[in-house]
Amino acid sequence: MAKKLSEIPTSKLQAAQIAALARIHLWVTGEIHLRINDFTRQARAILIKRADGDGVFDGASSYQAQIEILRAWGDVQSEILKLMQAGMRQAARLPFALLAEEHQRRFADLPKMVSEAQGSAYAGWVEQQFRMLIDQANTRVLNGLNLSGRVWRFDRETREDINTLIVQAITSKQDAWSLAKDLEKYLGSSQDCPRWTSSRLYGLTKSDIASGDLQGLVTGDACDGQGVAYKALRMARTEIQAIHADATTRQLAASPWVQKERIVLSTGHPEPDICDDVINEGDDGKGIYEVGSITLPLHPQCLCYKVAVSMSDDEFVANMRGWLDNSQAWPEMDAYSANVGGTSANLAAENAALNTWLWGTEKELEKVMK
């Protein structure tokens, strides 16, 4: 079984990329729960500290507790946003890393004149496209109407609910310990989640990950949580999936050998919904559509993904030869040829993104997510 990218069969590359995406989701999920767990403990300590000897609050102490807790929440909110941005950046890079690997394989196997005519790399174009996607990702996080509206609504609602819990505690003479338990329930993070994600990120073998079987990455999720934790994960999963789908659509559209796209139901799909309709429609009811016809995610927390429906190797070689000797028009290859450029070293750098998320160690993943 493959233990490095070059050993993964071409037919398995797309599955490997989705396994890498699943690891990004795992990393962000565990880190979000870790942050909310820390905030839960911090809020509890503040409440206990500000209550009197009997564990109850007066007006001044409750007000001070509110200020300190909301200040701490502001720091957590900022960290969650940074985690989302980092996850989105990495998810946007994966399809271009896949394209880099496919480019190397397709043109390395052709006659030498094809490699010379087409070039051995296209990293300049990749970087241009990648920067465009990252600009979009930053806009979604910081200025985009959809995401920013959700983020700031999430922040506002969380602050309002924390205030309400404290005010109600004062009114009902609730003690600090009871209030801390209510707040912990409202935040809803799972203490087991960081350990669960870590075991799957670093406990699976390279062969298990490279197989493209997502069961080992997603089965037995201990991280769903509730309340604030659930809302935070819902945002993160949706936005990471959205930017990856955007990048995938661009990658498929840019690949002359790709004919259509196929929508694939995620391994963790819980029950029938719009996703089932989409994968059971399209060409011959197989979820196959023109590239860019389907916008993912189809709903919040949708983890469905799209893969290429490509021409056969024989068809690609025949088209390439006809294009090179001008006996056959191939507009898609014309556009691709005009855009590629760069060096093999740049290609290796692009491939490193996929390698890292397939098999990176804890330190390596922490480094790329900074």
Cα separations (Å) of 23 from 132, 192, 367? 24, 17, 15
Which pLDDT belongs to residue 119? Answer: 38
**DSSP per-residue codes, 5-69:** GGGS-GGGHHHHHHHHHHHHHHHHHHHHHHHHHHHHHHHHHHHHHHS-TTS---HHHHHHHHHHH
Q: What is the pTM of this model?
A: 0.85
The pLDDT of residue 323 = 85
- Over the range 115-128, which residues count as b (16 or more CB within 10 Å of their CB) and which as e? eeebeebbbebbbe
pLDDT at residue 20 in the model: 92
Question: Parallel, antiparallel, or unpaired for β 258-264 and 305-310?
Answer: antiparallel
Query: Tell me: the pLDDT tens digits for 55-93?
Result: 888 888 888 999 999 999 999 999 998 888 888 888 888
Walk along the chain (370 residues) and give the pLDDT tens digit of each residue: 556 788 888 888 898 899 999 999 999 999 999 999 999 999 999 999 998 888 888 888 888 999 999 999 999 999 998 888 888 888 888 888 888 788 777 776 555 434 444 433 334 444 555 455 445 544 543 343 355 577 788 889 999 999 999 888 888 888 999 999 999 999 998 888 888 888 888 887 777 776 666 666 766 566 777 899 999 998 888 889 988 898 899 889 888 999 999 999 987 777 789 999 999 999 999 999 999 999 999 998 888 999 999 999 889 888 888 887 889 999 998 877 766 544 444 455 556 778 888 888 889 999 988 8
Partners of 289 in beta bridges: 261
Full DSSP string of 211-268: TT-THHHHTT------HHHHHHHHHHHHHHHHHHHHHHHHHHHH-TTEEEEEEE--TT
Instruction: Give the side-chain half-sphere CA count within 13 A for 183.
Output: 36
- Extract the tokens encoding 170: 């004062």
Predicted pLDDT of residue 343: 42
d(CA 252, CA 259): 8
Task: Delimit the domains of the chain by residue range.
Answer: 5-239+353-368
**Which token pair is 202?**
């670093």
Largest CA distance in the chain: 90
Residue 22 in tokens: 């699943």
pLDDT 10s digits, 213-270: 666 676 656 677 789 999 999 888 888 998 889 889 988 988 899 999 999 998 777 7
Strand partners for 258: 310
pLDDT score at 337: 72
Give me the pLDDT at residue 1, please.
52
